[in-house]
């Protein structure tokens, strides 16, 4: 029986706590008497027979939906859309969940005589997946059967010939999605629900849409009113997607949603990385030696070698549930299953929230965690991993640990470089940024060209990363990055500190000398239910 997540009050006997630090590790002693650590739950049990569970979900759908087999017929047009490279994190060991699900969907389609099938990576404005990444997601058999015939493609949100406007919501939000999907008799959406933000109407209304549609909810106003965007019932981001979902449903577009959840088994229960998943006071002498050796080894490696080590890691995380059918009915169950793994009850807010940012986030898989993505991971994702109220009080301080190098992947993140060099050099205010620069970047022809023909995130994407942190930026009194490159941290508008001790001293200028401290021990992922 896996142990649930819990909150540890730090005392003098508490050992140094592990902070992820990009592609490195730090061990930090938190001040006793005023610090606490939130630990994630241990990995939930995996489904014993995932393939059988998938088959059962397809045959016994939730909500107002017939079984998938009953929806398939000869002569129909079927589109299978699936989540892109941003999920799961880290990438999972083969077979990927998407492969398991898609193979069963295709078997049913074949059995029903469906021969017009298209697979689309629902990447919205993310970068196009490479062949290797697509093979990993859908498996070689599916890839080889479809890709050579142009039937397995990356969604192109800048292809005017293959987008279609479905309608507008009652708030005037334009709903535009992939034409092939919209004109299909059935869309089967294959989802991996890593965090509570994922899934539901967001899958189709965001994953298959365009800038014209996305700009209605990927903006500062929406993000400041999503408290948090991980809590769909208090998230304007989700309300907007749900409004768009209603437009899709009312237009007659038929969607069969398949959602899956996975456990927290990021580093495994055995092997060299497994110690990163253990609680520090339970480390054996061997574990301590392993962490020490790993830390020293990483410290002396080149940045390139470190990146290679971490990004080659394939996580053993396993499927904990699968449900299929009508979008909202499915997503309700999915969310409960995500919460079962992630939610940790926490009493009250803190003055200082500390977090060790790992090497990976949704937008740097097989890539570089550039400074903008550091901001987004810390102030977008980690800060928003709450229900109820933020872990840190208004006017409080977030201390993140990450080297934050002034380093970008030019192929994946070309507009990020320009955003960093021009926009952030001018202002870090999300509203000013949105007002003065978004349109220029969103409509830049070179970025469009790179998004469509290479493997570049869309020109507007760095803006969304910054907006993702807008709620935190308006909420916090100060942001400090331990071990961050000073020039890069300065450009972000934050403060760099050499050590956690220095950072806590700096934070005392904002929250006083006896401030309470909470450490978010993530990864593996946890979500604080703050009361």
Q: Which span (61-69, 70-78, 245-253, 446-454) binds another protein, by CB under 8 A? A: 446-454
The C-alpha atoms of residue 194 and residue 157 are separated, in whole angstroms, by 24
Q: Which is nearer to another protein, 125 or 322 (CB)?
A: 125
The C-alpha atoms of residue 85 and residue 3 are separated, in whole angstroms, by 30
* 456 lines the binding site for another protein (CB under 8 A): yes
* 445 lines the binding site for another protein (CB under 8 A): yes
Q: Which is nearer to another protein, 306 or 413 (CB)?
A: 413
Q: Which is nearer to another protein, 82 or 457 (CB)?
A: 457
* 144 lines the binding site for another protein (CB under 8 A): no
Distances in Å between the alpha carbon of 160 and those of 101, 163, 165?
30, 5, 10
Among 155, 227, 409, 491, binds another protein (CB under 8 A): 409
Q: Which is nearer to another protein, 135 or 413 (CB)?
A: 413
Q: Dihedral (C-alpha) 399, 401, 403, 404: value to the nearest 10 degrees?
A: -50
Among 84, 176, 418, 438, binds another protein (CB under 8 A): 418
* 422 lines the binding site for another protein (CB under 8 A): yes
Q: Which is nearer to another protein, 243 or 409 (CB)?
A: 409
> Which residue, 146, 150, 147, 214, is CA-closest to 177?
214
Among 52, 70, 394, 411, binds another protein (CB under 8 A): 411
Q: Quote the least distance from Cβ 411 to another protein, whole Å.
A: 4
* 425 lines the binding site for another protein (CB under 8 A): yes
* 398 lines the binding site for another protein (CB under 8 A): no
Among 28, 83, 444, 485, binds another protein (CB under 8 A): 444
Q: Which residues, at least 6 apart from 50, have a Cβ–Cβ distance to it below 8 Å?
A: 97, 100, 318, 319, 322
Number of residues that bind another protein (CB under 8 A): 19
* 493 lines the binding site for another protein (CB under 8 A): no
Contacts 24+ apart (CB under 8 A), 151-155: 151/117, 151/118, 151/119, 152/118, 152/119, 152/120, 153/118, 153/119, 153/120, 153/121, 154/84, 154/120, 154/121, 154/123, 154/128, 154/129, 155/81, 155/120, 155/121, 155/122, 155/123, 155/124, 155/207, 155/208
Give exposure, 242-272, as e/b (b: 16+ Cβ within 10 Å): bbbbbbbeeeebebbbbbbbbbbbbbbeeee
Q: Quote the least distance from Cβ 510 to another protein, whole Å.
A: 25
Among 135, 216, 342, 412, binds another protein (CB under 8 A): 412
* 131 lines the binding site for another protein (CB under 8 A): no
Give me the residues that bind another protein (CB under 8 A), please.
Answer: 409-414, 417-418, 421-422, 425, 440, 444-446, 449-450, 454, 456
């Amino acid at each position: 029986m896996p142990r649930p997540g819990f909150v540890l009050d730090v005392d003098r006997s508490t050992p140094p706590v592990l902070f992820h630090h990009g592609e490195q590790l730090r061990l930090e002693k938190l001040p006793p008497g005023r610090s606490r650590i939130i630990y994630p739950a241990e990995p939930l049990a995996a489904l014993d027979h995932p393939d059988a569970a998938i088959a059962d979900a397809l045959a016994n759908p939730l909500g107002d939906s017939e079984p998938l087999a009953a929806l398939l017929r000869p002569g129909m047009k079927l589109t299978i859309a699936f989540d892109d490279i941003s999920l799961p994190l880290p990438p999972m060991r083969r077979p990927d969940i998407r492969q398991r699900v898609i193979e069963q969907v295709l078997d049913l389609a074949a059995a029903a005589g469906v021969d017009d099938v298209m697979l689309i990576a629902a990447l919205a404005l993310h970068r196009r997946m490479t062949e290797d990444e697509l093979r990993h997601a859908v498996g070689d058999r599916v890839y080889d059967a479809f890709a050579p015939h142009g039937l397995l493609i990356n969604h192109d949100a800048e292809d005017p010939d293959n987008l279609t406007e479905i309608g507008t919501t009652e708030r005037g939000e334009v709903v535009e999605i992939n034409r092939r999907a919209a004109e299909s008799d059935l869309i089967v959406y294959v989802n991996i629900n890593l965090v509570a933000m994922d899934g539901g109407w967001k899958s189709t209304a965001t994953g298959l849409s365009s800038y014209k549609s996305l700009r209605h909810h990927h903006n500062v106003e929406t993000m400041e009113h999503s408290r948090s965007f991980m809590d769909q019932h208090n998230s304007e981001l989700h309300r907007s997607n749900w409004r768009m979902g209603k437009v899709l449903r009312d237009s007659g577009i038929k969607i069969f949603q398949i959602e899956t959840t996975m456990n927290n088994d990021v580093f495994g229960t055995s092997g060299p990385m497994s110690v990163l998943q253990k609680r520090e006071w339970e480390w054996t002498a061997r574990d301590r030696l392993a962490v020490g050796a790993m830390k020293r080894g990483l410290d002396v490696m080149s940045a390139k070698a470190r990146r290679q080590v971490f990004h080659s890691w394939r996580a053993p995380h396993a499927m904990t549930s699968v449900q299929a059918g009508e979008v909202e009915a499915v997503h309700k169950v999915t969310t409960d299953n995500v919460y079962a793994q992630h939610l940790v009850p926490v009493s009250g807010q803190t003055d200082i929230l500390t977090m060790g940012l790992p090497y990976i986030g949704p937008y740097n898989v097989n890539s570089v965690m550039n400074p903008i993505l550091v901001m987004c991971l810390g102030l977008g994702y980690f800060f928003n991993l709450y229900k109820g109220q933020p872990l840190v009080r208004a006017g409080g301080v977030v201390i993140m640990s990450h080297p934050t190098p002034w380093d970008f992947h030019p192929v994946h993140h070309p507009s990020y470089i320009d955003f960093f060099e021009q926009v952030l050099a001018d202002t870090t205010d999300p509203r000013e940024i949105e007002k003065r620069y978004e349109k220029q970047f969103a409509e830049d022809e070179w970025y469009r060209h790179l998004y469509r023909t290479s493997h570049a995130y869309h020109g507007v994407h760095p803006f969304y990363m910054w907006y993702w942190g807008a709620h935190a930026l308006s909420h916090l009194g100060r942001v400090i990055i331990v071990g961050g490159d000073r020039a890069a941290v300065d450009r972000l508008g934050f403060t760099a500190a050499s050590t956690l001790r220095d950072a806590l001293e700096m934070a005392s200028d904002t929250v006083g000398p006896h401030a309470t401290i909470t450490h978010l021990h993530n990864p593996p992922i946890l979500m604080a239910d703050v009361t």
